[in-house]
Structure 1
């Protein structure tokens, strides 16, 4: 049986999680030119996921979002470290940033930077670490 406040929480969660995820993507892409980036964007995405877990429950969200957050941590770390080590291939110091302008089909002339790849690694790592911690604590509380 669903209580009234569960219904309100679930209804508002759909809208709030969508806004949080949208803002997370904005912060991620704005990060190398403006305040934001992978860390705060990842925290915003994790906040949206935690809200969905709180509203719908662990089992319901695990059926919909089949992500192993430990693999997400590993993937993020590989991307971030790979971006830094990749500079060595061009005889540049660790984590040296480079950028260029490219003509993309829908976006037109767009600046792409290696900092975006580093931010992607940080973004995935932060989501993975945050969700692993939160879900581990939630699993421990269910067992007690």
Structure 2
């Protein structure tokens, strides 16, 4: 199902969906959303691109194996969880850093919850793309 309309739409939708997934990721440590939903949206963007342009084109676009994202994200989530142990607080306690200077203050308060969400984002993206790409290669 590689029509011209789907190819053109997927090329425009990929960056839009990736930006939207980052928005959901950053929104998530204040409101519902976060790493899991953002990772799913990002993986949907790449799956749509793979359906329209072929699996090999999408793999060239990603440049790294999606399986590499899983341990990276898991490590980042674990490090954000053990960070509070160094301040005599329990595991996975949220720590908030001082306010950022004006150009970066648009991100809001940065804390360990954001880094945990980024880790979950990478894990979900890696797992989903690994499963979908494996299924696509076997058919």
**Could you tell me the TM-score, scaled by structure 2's length?**
0.91
Secondary structure in 1 matching 2:85 = helix
Q: How many residues align?
A: 138
How big is the shift at 1:105?
5.1
* 2-structure distance, mates of 1:96, 1:108: 23
For the aligned residues, what is the CA RMSD?
1.7
Which position in structure 2 is the counterpart of 1:31? 28
What residue number does 1:113 align with? 111
Q: In structure 1, how many angstroms separate the alpha carbons of the residues matched to 2:15 and 2:67?
A: 24
Residue matched to 2:6: 9
Instruction: For 1:1-144, list aligned pairs within 5 A.
Output: 6-104=3-101, 106-108=103-105, 110-141=108-139
Cα-to-partner distance string for 1:14-35 (whole Å, 9 max, x where unaligned): 2222222121011000011111
CA change 1:108–1:78 in 2 (3 A) is: closer
Q: Tell me the CA shift for residue 122 of structure 1.
A: 0.2
Query: Segments of 4+ in structure 1 off by > 3 A?
Result: 107-110
Q: C-alpha offsets along residues 97-122 of structure 1, whole Å, 9 cap, x if unaligned?
A: 01133233523474211100000100
**Structure 2: gaps of 5 or more residues:** none
TM-superposition CA deviations, 1:59-102 (whole Å, max 9, x none): 12222221111111010000011111222111111110011332
The question of whether the paired residues in 1 share the 8 Å contact of 2:81 and 2:112 is answered with: no
- When residues 107 and 85 of structure 1 are mapped into structure 2, their CA distance, relative to the original with a 3 A threshold, is closer
Give the match's secondary structure for 2:109: strand
Q: Which has the higher strand share?
A: 1
Instruction: Note the residue ranges of structure 1 that are not aligned, 5 or more in a row.
Output: none
What CA distance in whole angstroms lies between the structure 1 residues aligned with 2:65 and 2:111?
28
